[in-house]
Amino acid sequence: DAGITQSPRYKITETGRQVTLMCHQTWSHSYMFWYRQDLGHGLRLIYYSAAADITDKGEVPDGYVVSRSKTENFPLTLESATRSQTSVYFCASTDPGRMNTEAFFGQGTRLTVV
Amino acid sequence: AQRVTQPEKLLSVFKGAPVELKCNYSYSGSPELFWYVQYSRQRLQLLLRHISRESIKGFTADLNKGETSFHLKKPFAQEEDSAMYYCALRDGYGNKLVFGAGTILRVKS
């Protein structure tokens, strides 16, 4: 299916465990983003990537790791999950080559750390 | 650094009443501004962008550079407008999309 998909949709993990959230897009968009959504904070940027093998920190990168070996995939890894990382995570992609192009979002992953 | 402020966490109005969701920004360059909407349990989707000067689902937003604002307006709210609304600004250098904290719009019958 064309679009941007995230997996899993729901995940419960224990404190201290490593967990990876997957994001896949079929448009060959160069830019991809990871956000976390929390009440009172809105959407905060964790990491973003301008192209394969190019990543950069966003507003709240601590405790997260990303990689981008292929243009279409942008996994987010929590190296040692903490309760404060309980959140809804959204992946997005965009093509910045056009002015005012929109970002397209995945359906989100609801992560609970117990 | 760019910043987007949405001062209201919740806006509750009656059906048929006018709606204004406030958004202020700080950015040193020429901003690219957007409004995104998230209906219950759905993914975020673009509602409108400032460059298009369009009206989507009856919503409009005008960029006011003097007041650094991009408020979202609708003259007559509908129940189906109930959702979370995010104002966003795109950084032209890094192409980062920065969001405000969001405003929940609740339209009561």
Q: Is the pLDDT of residue A34 over 70?
A: yes
d(CA B63, CA B13): 24
Phi and psi of B101, rounded to 5°?
-75, -15
The separation between CA B50 and the C-alpha centre of its own chain, rounded to angstroms, equals 10
Nearest chain A alpha carbon to B9:
A40
B44 within 8 A of B81, measured Cβ to Cβ: no
pLDDT tens, residue by residue, B87-99 = 999 876 667 888 9
Instruction: Choose from B43, B46, B51 for mutation: most chain A CBs within 10 A.
Output: B43
Q: Is the pLDDT of residue A57 over 80?
A: yes
Architecture of domain B3-108: Sandwich (2.60)
When CB atoms are compared, the residue of B45, B46, B98 closest to A45 is: B98
CB-side exposure of B47: number of CA atoms within 13 Å? 25
d(CA B71, CA A19): 39
When CB atoms are compared, the residue of A48, A56, A107 closest to B43 is: A107
Task: Give the mean pLDDT of B25-34.
Answer: 86
Asked if A107 lies within 8 A of B95 by C-beta distance, the reply is no
Burial of B28 (0-12, 13-18, 19+ CB in 10 A): exposed
Q: Is the pLDDT of residue A1 over 60?
A: no
**Which of A32, A23, A51, A48 is closest to A94 using CA atoms?**
A32
d(CA B51, CA B30): 11
B21 within 8 A of B6, measured Cβ to Cβ: yes
Task: Give the mean pLDDT of A34-42.
Answer: 90
Task: Give the mean pLDDT of B51-67.
Answer: 87
- How is chain B split into domains, by residue range? 3-108
CATH number at residue A59: 2.60.40.10
- Tell me the three state secondary structure of residue A85: helix
Dihedral, CA of residue A44, residue B29, residue B93 and residue A2, to nearest 10 = 60
| Per-residue pLDDT, B95 | 75
When CB atoms are compared, the residue of A42, A92, A105 closest to B102 is: A42
Nearest chain B alpha carbon to A108:
B43
Helix H, strand E, coil C: the string for B68-104 is CECCEEECCCCHHHCEEEEEEEECCCCCCEEECCCEE
Q: How many domains does chain A have?
A: 1
Range of the domain at A50: 4-113
d(CA A103, CA A46): 16
Task: Give the mean pLDDT of A47-74.
Answer: 95
User: What kind and span of H or E run contains B60?
Assistant: strand B60-61
Task: Give the mean pLDDT of B13-20.
Answer: 97
Identify residues of B whose CB sits under 8 angstroms from chain A CBs: 6, 9, 32, 34, 42-46, 49-52, 86, 90, 94-102
| Per-residue pLDDT, A76 | 98
When CB atoms are compared, the residue of A42, A56, A102 closest to B34 is: A102
